[in-house]
Amino acid sequence: MAKQILVIDDEELITKSLALALEKNGYEVLVAKHCDEAMAMAEAIDFDLIISDIRMPGVDGIETVRRILDIMIKRGVDRAPRIFITGYADQVAEEGARALKPKAFFFKPFDLIQFLSEVKNALGNNA
Protein backbone atom coordinates (compact mmCIF):
# COMPACT_ATOMS: atom_id res chain seq x y z
CA MET A 1 0.00 0.00 0.00
CA ALA A 2 1.33 3.44 -0.93
CA LYS A 3 2.32 5.80 1.85
CA GLN A 4 -0.22 8.59 2.28
CA ILE A 5 1.12 12.14 2.35
CA LEU A 6 -0.82 15.29 3.20
CA VAL A 7 0.46 18.43 1.47
CA ILE A 8 -0.83 21.71 2.91
CA ASP A 9 -0.15 24.90 0.95
CA ASP A 10 -2.33 27.72 -0.35
CA GLU A 11 -0.26 28.08 -3.55
CA GLU A 12 -1.73 25.88 -6.28
CA LEU A 13 1.49 25.76 -8.29
CA ILE A 14 3.36 24.37 -5.28
CA THR A 15 0.73 21.77 -4.42
CA LYS A 16 0.44 20.58 -8.02
CA SER A 17 4.22 20.37 -8.42
CA LEU A 18 4.75 18.52 -5.15
CA ALA A 19 1.83 16.18 -5.73
CA LEU A 20 3.08 15.29 -9.20
CA ALA A 21 6.63 14.62 -7.99
CA LEU A 22 5.46 12.59 -5.00
CA GLU A 23 2.95 10.56 -7.03
CA LYS A 24 5.65 9.78 -9.61
CA ASN A 25 7.63 8.31 -6.72
CA GLY A 26 4.80 6.02 -5.65
CA TYR A 27 3.16 8.01 -2.89
CA GLU A 28 -0.54 8.75 -2.49
CA VAL A 29 -0.98 12.51 -2.07
CA LEU A 30 -3.87 14.50 -0.67
CA VAL A 31 -3.81 18.28 -0.85
CA ALA A 32 -5.33 20.82 1.50
CA LYS A 33 -5.28 24.56 0.86
CA HIS A 34 -6.10 25.68 4.42
CA CYS A 35 -6.39 24.54 8.02
CA ASP A 36 -10.06 23.48 8.04
CA GLU A 37 -9.61 21.33 4.94
CA ALA A 38 -6.48 19.68 6.38
CA MET A 39 -8.14 19.00 9.73
CA ALA A 40 -11.17 17.42 8.08
CA MET A 41 -8.86 15.07 6.18
CA ALA A 42 -6.91 14.25 9.36
CA GLU A 43 -10.16 13.22 11.07
CA ALA A 44 -10.59 10.44 8.50
CA ILE A 45 -7.12 9.50 7.25
CA ASP A 46 -4.00 8.27 9.03
CA PHE A 47 -1.29 10.14 7.15
CA ASP A 48 2.22 8.74 7.00
CA LEU A 49 3.74 12.21 6.45
CA ILE A 50 2.59 15.83 6.66
CA ILE A 51 4.21 18.46 4.43
CA SER A 52 3.11 22.01 5.19
CA ASP A 53 3.88 25.54 4.15
CA ILE A 54 4.35 27.85 7.12
CA ARG A 55 2.77 31.05 5.84
CA MET A 56 -0.83 30.72 4.78
CA PRO A 57 -3.84 33.02 5.08
CA GLY A 58 -5.90 32.48 8.20
CA VAL A 59 -4.40 29.77 10.38
CA ASP A 60 -0.71 29.32 9.57
CA GLY A 61 0.94 26.01 8.80
CA ILE A 62 2.52 25.67 12.24
CA GLU A 63 -0.81 25.88 14.04
CA THR A 64 -2.46 23.70 11.38
CA VAL A 65 0.09 20.93 11.89
CA ARG A 66 -0.20 21.28 15.67
CA ARG A 67 -3.98 20.80 15.41
CA ILE A 68 -3.58 17.80 13.12
CA LEU A 69 -1.15 16.18 15.55
CA ASP A 70 -3.69 16.74 18.36
CA ILE A 71 -6.36 15.02 16.24
CA MET A 72 -4.03 12.09 15.63
CA ILE A 73 -3.28 11.74 19.34
CA LYS A 74 -6.99 11.80 20.21
CA ARG A 75 -7.59 9.09 17.60
CA GLY A 76 -4.79 6.99 19.07
CA VAL A 77 -2.76 7.18 15.88
CA ASP A 78 1.01 7.61 15.83
CA ARG A 79 2.02 11.18 15.12
CA ALA A 80 3.11 11.50 11.52
CA PRO A 81 6.53 12.95 10.73
CA ARG A 82 6.53 16.54 9.46
CA ILE A 83 8.33 18.52 6.78
CA PHE A 84 7.91 22.30 6.64
CA ILE A 85 8.39 24.44 3.55
CA THR A 86 8.31 28.21 3.28
CA GLY A 87 9.12 31.03 0.94
CA TYR A 88 10.03 33.22 3.88
CA ALA A 89 9.85 32.89 7.61
CA ASP A 90 10.77 35.22 10.39
CA GLN A 91 12.71 33.89 13.34
CA VAL A 92 9.60 33.40 15.49
CA ALA A 93 7.83 31.37 12.78
CA GLU A 94 10.92 29.27 12.10
CA GLU A 95 11.36 28.55 15.82
CA GLY A 96 7.66 27.65 16.09
CA ALA A 97 7.99 25.21 13.22
CA ARG A 98 11.16 23.68 14.65
CA ALA A 99 9.42 23.22 18.02
CA LEU A 100 7.22 20.63 16.28
CA LYS A 101 10.39 18.64 15.53
CA PRO A 102 10.13 18.38 11.76
CA LYS A 103 12.18 15.82 9.89
CA ALA A 104 13.18 18.56 7.44
CA PHE A 105 12.77 22.28 6.78
CA PHE A 106 12.97 23.73 3.26
CA PHE A 107 13.06 27.29 2.00
CA LYS A 108 11.47 27.87 -1.42
CA PRO A 109 12.77 27.41 -4.00
CA PHE A 110 14.38 24.10 -3.08
CA ASP A 111 16.05 21.22 -4.83
CA LEU A 112 13.41 18.61 -5.69
CA ILE A 113 15.84 15.68 -5.56
CA GLN A 114 16.97 16.67 -2.07
CA PHE A 115 13.33 17.17 -1.07
CA LEU A 116 12.34 13.68 -2.29
CA SER A 117 15.32 12.22 -0.45
CA GLU A 118 14.15 13.85 2.78
CA VAL A 119 10.61 12.56 2.18
CA LYS A 120 11.99 9.04 1.86
CA ASN A 121 14.10 9.50 5.01
CA ALA A 122 11.11 10.85 6.95
CA LEU A 123 9.06 7.82 5.97
CA GLY A 124 11.80 5.37 6.89
CA ASN A 125 13.67 2.86 4.77
CA ASN A 126 10.53 1.11 3.55
CA ALA A 127 9.12 4.25 1.89
pLDDT tens-digit map of 38-86: 999 999 999 999 999 998 989 999 999 999 999 999 988 888 999 999 8
The per-residue pLDDT for 92 is 73
The per-residue pLDDT for 126 is 52
Distance CA 63, CA 98 (A): 12
Q: How confident is the model at residue 108 (pLDDT cuts 50, 70, 90)?
A: confident
pLDDT at 107 over 60: yes
Identify whether the C-beta of residue 104 lies closer than 8 Å to the C-beta of residue 72.
Answer: no
Average pLDDT over residues 10-32: 96
